[in-house]
Structure 1
Amino acid sequence: MEAVVGLLVMLLGVSHGIETHCDGRQNETQCYGALGGTVVLQLMDNASEIFRYLWYKNKNLKIVDGRKDKIVSNEMKDRSVFTPSNGTFRINNLSRTDGAEYTLETFKPNGHVSEQRTLQLSIQAPVSSVLLDSECLSQGEMRVSCSSEGGDSPQYSWTLDGHTLTDAQLLSGNNETNNITLKQDVSGLLVCSVRNHVSNVSKGEKISTCGFIFINCTLPDGTNISQWVFSANNTTPTMIMITDTMASNVDNSLLVSVLRAVVALSLLGGIAIYFAWKKKKYKKAETSTRPRIKDHPENSFEMVEL
């Protein structure tokens, strides 16, 4: 009978999508199924040892009614099959409406409930594809974004050459975000993985540095340069710093020339002042050596003649 039911299900059409498995033998188990795919739920060990069992959807819709190894009814028989010998319930072509709380009740021969368990089935769309996009920034950093098509509640992770991407390699972002910025010296095979509870898809890309090199040197004037520069550009920050230093040297030379001119003018002015003072002093001395002619008539020439 089981083989016939299983064959009918196969003939009616079974999704060839993603198949997931979940062990629901513990109470309040969380299970996941892929949209359009198949889920196999382990409800019990062996139904043939149970007098009667009922399986409900949302506590009010009876899905399966069975007695030992005989299935009395299955409301989802067009796309599901229950196998009493191993206690599994297989649902194909999953839709969003299949996501619900399911309850299993087992009964003793006297009609009393022997056990009651629930499980929660969630349906997720699987991730279909992953796309990587990268761009170089102004200082040689590389921004990389990872996007996916489809996929409910996607989670991201990154690896570089097979190893988990570390904080030392990241300028911003972290290993669980879809947008990251790599430092200037990071290169290798970068892989972004996108996953949820029903799928896992990865995309890798070989990346290299953005053409920047690290300069660490000391100029003749003692200026230290330690920075990333674009190797293909002749007008690097290093050249700019050298030009600034040369300009500073030119300014110093001009200042020295001005100071020299001031000193020379001061010296010439001092010499001129000295000679003017000397000339004035000479004239004063010459005037003091001439004889004086007194105004008193007794000392006049005529008086002496008489």
Structure 2
Amino acid sequence: MEAVFGLMVVVLLGVSHGIETYCDGRKDGTQCYGALGGTLVLQLMDDATEINSFNWIKNQSNLLRWRSSNSVIILPDNRFFFTPSNGTLRMNNLRRNDGGEYTLSISNENGEISPQRTLHLFIQAPVSSVLLDSECLSEGEMRVSCSSEGGDSPQYNWTLDGRTLTDAELLSGNTETDIITLKQHISGHLVCSVRNNVSHVSSSKRLCTCGFIFINCILSDGTQISTCVFEANNTRCIEPTTSIAIDSSLIICSLKAAVVIILVIGITIFFAWKKKKSKIAEGSADPRTMDHPENSVLMVQM
């Protein structure tokens, strides 16, 4: 018995993926939901060791057989794992074709069969993400859409500041559709929740009246601003100190560059002036050579 279960655990480790759901199938006609690619933990009975034998059947195929000899046979899929001590069946890596009607047939030591129990299993793809998008209409109303990715049979629910939207706030649509239109001057924390029987995802947005935007920042003095402001002349979250710091750094860099340029020009002028002065000094120390030596002779004679 222990060897059989040990082998089954080795084979099935790491098979389970995705979302895990639970269903109590101990009552006849139970409806269970499993996530596509996920795991379903199904409670078939309290304790199988107290039952002589049972068969778990789908479409005339015996998927699970229990006998008083404590032998477990799972056919035809090793994705299933049964624990006799607590009567639970794990169905791993659920597929679309796992959905359908299952029948549990229990018999006692005398071979008498108890009334059969049926179970309906539905496989759904879970909702993976939700995106909120809003646009202003011509009269100041706001249309908001809630788009979900994946998910079978999604159900929508809208709340504003933690409460359900009222007819006084809704121009069209209702809180169970994916698109709503809000009346003028409606603002607040809007949340769209999308769920089905195996998943639940939500997305939120801070909604402001048309023409206004939501700002959320902390100023240098520690003041936190979190409010709706008129978009056209918004200056609330613009930090003057930040721009001044940037301008100061630019000015410092410019001044440094100007000092370097001035030094280079000054050094160049100094050396040019020194060179010129040196040439003048050399010229005054040497006797001047006349271009017309004969003129100098006539001047001496005169």
- One-letter code aligned to 1:125: A
- One-letter code aligned to 1:25: R
Number of aligned pairs?
213
Question: 2: CA distance between counterparts of 1:182 and 1:146?
Answer: 14
CA contact (8 A) 1:69 1:85 kept: no
- One-letter code aligned to 2:169: Q
Question: 1: CA distance between counterparts of 2:138 and 2:37?
Answer: 46
Q: Deviations over 1:45-88 (max 9, x none)?
A: 11111111100012x01001112472331015521110111111
- Following TM superposition, where does structure 1 have runs of at least 4 consecutive aligned residues deviating by more than 4 angstroms? none
Question: 2: CA distance between counterparts of 1:69 and 1:83?
Answer: 15
1:114 Cα shift?
A: 2.1
Distance 1:167 1:73, change over 3 A: same
Distance 1:3 1:189, change over 3 A: farther
1:231 Cα shift?
A: 11
Distance 1:6 1:187, change over 3 A: farther
Question: 1: CA distance between counterparts of 2:206 and 2:51?
Answer: 58
Structure-to-structure mapping, 1:278-293, within 5 angstroms: none
- One-letter code aligned to 2:124: Q
Question: 1: CA distance between counterparts of 2:11 and 2:101?
Answer: 24
Question: 1: CA distance between counterparts of 2:11 and 2:162?
Answer: 42
Residue 7 (structure 1) aligns with: 9
Residue 85 (structure 2) aligns with: 85
Given the two structures, how large is their TM-score scaled by the length of structure 1?
0.66
* Greater CA drift, 19-28 or 163-172: 163-172
Distance 1:51 1:39, change over 3 A: same
CA contact (8 A) 1:48 1:84 kept: yes
- One-letter code aligned to 2:24: D
Q: Deviations over 1:186-237 (max 9, x none)?
A: 111111111000000001111100038xxxxxxxxxxxxxxxxx997xxxxx
CA contact (8 A) 2:12 2:78 kept: no
Question: 2: CA distance between counterparts of 1:5 and 1:36?
Answer: 24
Match of 2:114, SS state, is strand
Residue 116 (structure 2) aligns with: 116
> Are 2:170 and 1:155 equivalent residues in the alignment?
no
Structure-to-structure mapping, 1:29-44, within 5 angstroms: 29-44=30-45
> Are 2:43 and 1:55 equivalent residues in the alignment?
no
Given the two structures, how large is their TM-score scaled by the length of structure 2?
0.67
Question: 1: CA distance between counterparts of 2:62 and 2:178?
Answer: 43
Q: Deviations over 1:78-126 (max 9, x none)?
A: 2111011111110000000100100000001121202310000000000
Structure-to-structure mapping, 1:1-306, within 5 angstroms: 1=2, 4-5=6-7, 7-11=9-13, 13-58=14-59, 60-68=60-68, 70-211=70-211
Quick one: percent identity of the two aligned structures?
A: 65
Q: Select the structure of larger CA radius of gyration.
A: 1
Q: Deviations over 1:224-257 (max 9, x none)?
A: xxxxxx997xxxxxxxxxxxxxxxxxxxxxxxxx
Match of 2:191, SS state, is strand
Question: 2: CA distance between counterparts of 1:231 and 1:85?
Answer: 65
CA contact (8 A) 2:21 2:40 kept: yes
CA contact (8 A) 1:41 1:88 kept: yes
- One-letter code aligned to 1:72: V
Distance 1:195 1:231, change over 3 A: closer
Unaligned ranges ≥5, structure 2: 213-229, 233-302
